[in-house]
Amino acid sequence: MCLYILHIAPVLFWLFNAGHSLGDLDGIPIAVKDNFSTSGIETTCASNMLKGCVPPYNATVVQKLLDQGAILMGKTNLDEFAMGSGSTDGVFGPVKNPWSYSKQYREKRKQKPHGEKEDSNWLITGGSSGGSAAAVAAFTCFAALGSDTGGSTRNPAAHCGVVGFKPSYGLVSRHGLIPLVNSMDVPGILTRCVDDAALVLGVLAGHDPKDSTTVQDPVKPFTLPTLTDVSKLCIGIPKEYLAPELSSEVRSFWSKAADLFESEGAKVIEVSLPHTSYSIVCYHVLCTSEVASNMARFDGLEYGHRCDIDVSTEAMYAATRREGFNDVVRGRILSGNFFLLKENYENYFIKAQKVRRLIANDFVNVFNSGVDVLLTPTTLSEAVPYLEFIKEDNRTRSAQDDIFTQAVNMAGLPAVSVPVALSNQGLPIGLQFIGRAFRDQQLLTIAKWFEKQVQFPVIQLQELMDDCSSVFEIEKLGSVSLKQ
Amino acid sequence: MAAPMLRWCCLGRRWVLACVDSGSRHGRGAAIGFTSSRKRGQSSVAQQPLITAQKSRKGEHKWAAVVGLEIHAQISSNSKLFSGSQVRFAAPPNSLVSFFDASLPGTLPVLNRRCVEAAVMTGLALSCRINKKSLFDRKHYFYADLPAGYQITQQRLPIAVNGSLAYSVCAGKKPSQVISKTVRIKQIQLEQDSGKSLHDELRSQTLIDLNRAEGQLRVDANISVHHPGEPLGVRTEVKNLNSARFLAKAIDSEIERQIHELENGREILNETRSFDYKLGCTMPMRDKEGKQDYRFMPEPNLPPLLLYDTASLPPGADPQQVINIDWIRERLPDLPSETREKLIQQYGMLPEHSFALLNEVGLLEFFQNVIKETRAEPKKVTSWVLNIFLGFLKQQNLAVNESPVTPTALAELLNLLDRKAISSSAAKQVFEELWRSKGKTPSQIVSEKQLELMQDEEALERVCHTVMEGHPQVVMDMKRGNSRAINKLIGLVRKATLSRADPTVIKEILEKKLSS
């Protein structure tokens, strides 16, 4: 984890005394994923290419949070350029899941063989917004911004036991979010509870003239109603999401959740999203194509890393990009360029666009048949140890781990991962709700009801706090205090 | 790296790329000449029609050349096409660069409304079909003056298509031998521009200016030759031609070159060439290895551009958010052909004069202002404006708006001439003086130089009498019917009156005297 620990109380005290009334997020500490542009604060996307880069402007969502009085704690770690599902492939190193150090997990692991070093088998956070999820999970902030292109907010939320919300595409501005896939990216919100997510969404949502893909309709501030009666709801369970790789524990919780809704009077039906199996390949083609395009600006000329070679412009480009990007990014650029070649464009890119339309239509059809939300797993299993995770490469992992989340990005729908319960290992399991486009409020209302039912336990990090020095080496770098 | 050298898209992020096909279905088609109102002399580019070069050697059959033009024209607007930054000429390098222009990560394009309106106006003026839905694409290549690594353009579905432009070409030496031709406009598209590269050979480096605010018109020509009836030949592209004169030369020389190559058994390569002004011929451009694949992709940050007309306008639509084609059409100014027709009708002007008036920026307005303030006949005004006024301008390489003579001044001068207060040769003197010294009115100059025509007929008669008496031999010649003699007498009388007598009146008096 790369975070700044803040002493909160003095900050609030100071602000209160100064007579500042700043807004809905007055004095609230927040963290922001390091692929959001922050004025005067280094923004690296966890890449060598942007190490040391300090942007001159704030992303719209960052500005909105600051305008409401939020305190920026720091920029959080991620997979390089948001490519990955583990938050393990950034230049600053991998992100460690706070649950690795939780009492709940450690107690379960006391049965493990001795002689294992305490910290050697720590768990991943999931990704790519792992740093943000960890920041919220470890109580260092109340809310964090992530990004979500194929599940990058929901996935780590599930693994870290926090709420991870992906808004409808077009609801929240992407201006200042360094893009991965422009047609799928959205800023994501990570919080401890659904109410907090709704509050943050209320601050962020709305048209931005600087982002032509945001909708024009005015957005009213959010206050989630407290749902007491779910009997009018129809919950859809997509049958294609019953994947063979799904862990039995997750499957069990999924089933229990469905039963819960049914027992409370909701209609729970099986639905079909027939093109689900094509989704991952379609996503891969479109994602890498846009990546190849978006990464073209990183040439060492205007900003960012520039190599030492100056024999020719071409040589400079090549060396700069080789040095600046990790092999995950380079791999995607190469793939993407292949798909965009004139001779391949029709067969790959256009085809994928058509399949994307079919996938989006699957959702439309299901929602048109009377379903209010879909209920699915978020991840295949609980968080795995880092050493196990890295046995497969980034591409393989991404393909596996995005299975329940990326179709949502292709359809531009809102979705939220809500922590449900702890696994046998004492690790969080989350479930996902998917809503209709621009019915974010309805989605969160249902999620809030569900959250109240399941009463997910609070992470117990007390041991950790007491034992700070042995585990958190990074903290020697200093804790930032805003004491004036 | 096979990127074209100085980018083939125009400077300024507000360029309209128009494609015109000059009479063939070959290749990409050509462009329209669209004037940037700031620069003088940027009148409509004369397009090359389908030309036939005859080669009668060894009984060869004819060659036909096919030419398509791509013209890049800058839209006159306050800010750039996709970013809010300003446009200003001659600003210091990199002083008008927004975050988006520098392609800082996370920045997004926002379409400039004025540019869209300008593109629609252009399309309407060229009789195009305006596409109610048009799309933006990314065209990728790496070059130092293209910070994003791609250019935003309209490749799949541009804003206007299938237009035409009627124009006139001088068929012979006489100005009246003008024939009318039509050229097809394939499409008009909005696109972004790249920056400017300045090559510093001394230090082996290239400097980049991302302002992109130069008001230039650039043309690329696509040229091929073939025998009529046979398939079209391989085409070459000649880039970055900046003037109509060089465009014509470049095309001619390239056609010649291609014919020459083919007749000598060689092949034409599909390549990019540049025009060497000094040598007067085209040369292959360096840096071009193989064909460039631009990997076109839809621009995901710009939704489809939707335009409406009065019939399709959604009710309650915010006028700030929509563009109505009909509204723009109603506000189009007179097109040149209409203006010329009006001039011919209203003033009895010759067609070639109407062309000349419209072909110089600001000249028509100047002419109309003079007409307003003078009683002189339109034909007189036309003649003065086109011959004398324009002549002075050209001689000193000035634009109409740089002229030291105002329409008011010229009008006043023509009034003096009209009521015969001065002779026409005097008028020319006055004009010269007006040109040289600012602030003086024609009347002032006339009185300073004492150029008033003699109004006193009796005095003039006396002078004529004196001259006749002084040159009896000439009078004798005159009586004998020698026409040169009378001219000599007229000249003498004029000299005697210090050019203040109207030659016509002198002639009348002399003839009267002779016959009496």
Which range, A104-108, B28-32, B159-163, B509-513, has the best average confidence (pLDDT)?
Answer: B159-163
**A128 given a catalytic annotation:** yes
Confidence at residue A24, expressed as pLDDT on a 0 to 100 scale: 85
B187 part of a folded domain: yes
The per-residue pLDDT for range A355-375, each reduced to its tens digit, is 999 999 999 999 999 999 999
The per-residue pLDDT for range B51-73, each reduced to its tens digit, is 444 443 443 578 999 999 999 88
State the average pLDDT over residues B276-295. Answer: 79
Confidence at residue A100, expressed as pLDDT on a 0 to 100 scale: 94
- Please check whether residue B308 touches A, CB under 8 A: no
Percentage of chain B beyond pLDDT 90 is 40
B213 part of a folded domain: yes
Distance from the Cα of A206 to chain B's closest Cα (Å) equals: 16
Compute how many other C-beta atoms are within 10 angstroms of the C-beta atom of residue B109.
21
Confidence at residue A7, expressed as pLDDT on a 0 to 100 scale: 44
B444 and B471 part of one domain: no
The domain of A50 spans: 23-267+376-474
Confidence at residue B59, expressed as pLDDT on a 0 to 100 scale: 39
The per-residue pLDDT for range B333-351, each reduced to its tens digit, is 988 888 988 999 999 888 8
Q: Return phi, psi of residue A46, to 5°.
A: 55, 40
State the average pLDDT over residues B217-228. Answer: 91
**A212 given a catalytic annotation:** no
Q: Which of A47, A102, A128, A289 is catalytic?
A: A128
A73 part of a folded domain: yes
The per-residue pLDDT for range A182-229, each reduced to its tens digit, is 999 999 999 999 999 999 999 999 999 999 999 998 887 778 999 999
Read off the CATH number of the domain in which B498 is found. Answer: 1.10.10.410
Confidence at residue B286, expressed as pLDDT on a 0 to 100 scale: 63
State the average pLDDT over residues B111-119. Answer: 93
Q: Is the pLDDT of residue B322 over 70?
A: yes
Percentage of chain A beyond pLDDT 90 is 80
Tally: H helices and E strands in chain B = 15, 17
Using an 8 Å CB-CB cutoff, list chain B residues near A291.
none
Number of domains present in the structure of chain A: 1
Residue B312, phi-psi category: left (phi > 0), alpha (psi -120 to 50), beta (remainder): alpha
B205 and B134 part of one domain: yes
Banded pLDDT at B413 (limits 50, 70, 90): very high
Are the beta carbons of A212 and B111 separated by less than 8 Å? yes
B168 Cβ partners below 8 Å, 6+ apart? B178, B179, B180, B181, B351, B355
B442 and B482 part of one domain: no
Confidence at residue B215, expressed as pLDDT on a 0 to 100 scale: 58
State the average pLDDT over residues A76-105. Answer: 95
Banded pLDDT at B440 (limits 50, 70, 90): confident
Domain boundary among B425, B449, B473: B449
Are the beta carbons of A212 and B108 separated by less than 8 Å? yes
Compute how many other C-beta atoms are within 10 angstroms of the C-beta atom of residue B318.
8
The per-residue pLDDT for range A222-275, each reduced to its tens digit, is 789 999 999 999 999 999 999 999 999 999 999 999 999 999 999 999 999 999
A329 part of a folded domain: no
A332 part of a folded domain: no
A152 Cβ partners below 8 Å, 6+ apart? A82, A85, A127, A128, A129, A146, A188
B161 and B282 part of one domain: yes
Tokens, residue B484? 């040169």
The domain of B510 spans: 457-515
Number of domains present in the structure of chain B: 3
Pairing of β B129-130 and β B272-276:
unpaired
The per-residue pLDDT for range B458-492, each reduced to its tens digit, is 888 888 888 888 888 888 887 887 778 888 888 88
Banded pLDDT at B285 (limits 50, 70, 90): confident
Q: What is the dihedral of CA B368, B373, B377, B380, to 10 degrees?
A: -70
B172 and B254 part of one domain: yes
**A272 given a catalytic annotation:** no
B350 part of a folded domain: yes
A336 part of a folded domain: no
The per-residue pLDDT for range A297-338, each reduced to its tens digit, is 998 888 989 998 888 888 899 999 999 999 999 999 999 999
A355 part of a folded domain: no
- In whole numbers, what is the pLDDT of chain A averaged over residues? 90
Nearest 5 degrees, angle CA B289-CA B295-CA B297?
160
Are the beta carbons of A293 and B110 separated by less than 8 Å? no
- Contacts with B, A 326-355, CB within 8 Å: 337, 340-342, 345, 349
- Please check whether residue B142 touches A, CB under 8 A: yes
Residue A247, judged by CB atoms within 10 A of its CB (0-12, 13-18, 19+), counts as middle
A226 part of a folded domain: yes
Residue at token pair 């992992």: A397
Using an 8 Å CB-CB cutoff, list chain A residues near B149.
293, 295-299
A339 part of a folded domain: no
Confidence at residue B154, expressed as pLDDT on a 0 to 100 scale: 96
Q: Does residue B180 or residue B390 have the better pLDDT?
A: B390
B325 part of a folded domain: no
Banded pLDDT at B240 (limits 50, 70, 90): confident
Q: What does each C-alpha distance from A49 to A76, A175, A298 come to in angstroms? A: 17, 20, 7
Confidence at residue A477, expressed as pLDDT on a 0 to 100 scale: 32
B105 and B177 part of one domain: yes
B170 and B279 part of one domain: yes
A367 part of a folded domain: no
Confidence at residue B13, expressed as pLDDT on a 0 to 100 scale: 28
Taking the model in full, what pTM does it have? 0.81
Tokens, residue B430? 């006055």
Percentage of chain B beyond pLDDT 70 is 86
B2 part of a folded domain: no
Q: Is the pLDDT of residue B34 over 90?
A: no
Is residue B79 classed as helix, strand or coil in its secondary structure? strand
Q: Which of A37, A102, A129, A152 is catalytic?
A: A152
Asked if residue B384 lies in contact with residue B371, where contact means CB atoms within 8 angstroms, the answer is no
B271 and B399 part of one domain: no
Q: Is the pLDDT of residue B390 over 90?
A: yes
Nearest CA in chain A to B209: A302
B470 and B426 part of one domain: no
Asked if residue B71 lies in contact with residue B217, where contact means CB atoms within 8 angstroms, the answer is yes
B357 part of a folded domain: yes
Read off the CATH number of the domain in which A127 is found. Answer: 3.90.1300.10
B25 part of a folded domain: no
B189 and B264 part of one domain: yes
Q: What does each C-alpha distance from B57 to B60, B254, B263, B266, B295 come to in angstroms? A: 6, 20, 10, 18, 46
- Region of poorest pLDDT, from A33-47, A111-125, A441-455, B235-249: A111-125
B49 part of a folded domain: no
Residue A151, phi-psi category: left (phi > 0), alpha (psi -120 to 50), beta (remainder): left
Confidence at residue A14, expressed as pLDDT on a 0 to 100 scale: 58
Confidence at residue A455, expressed as pLDDT on a 0 to 100 scale: 95
Rounded to two decimals, the ipTM of the complex is 0.89
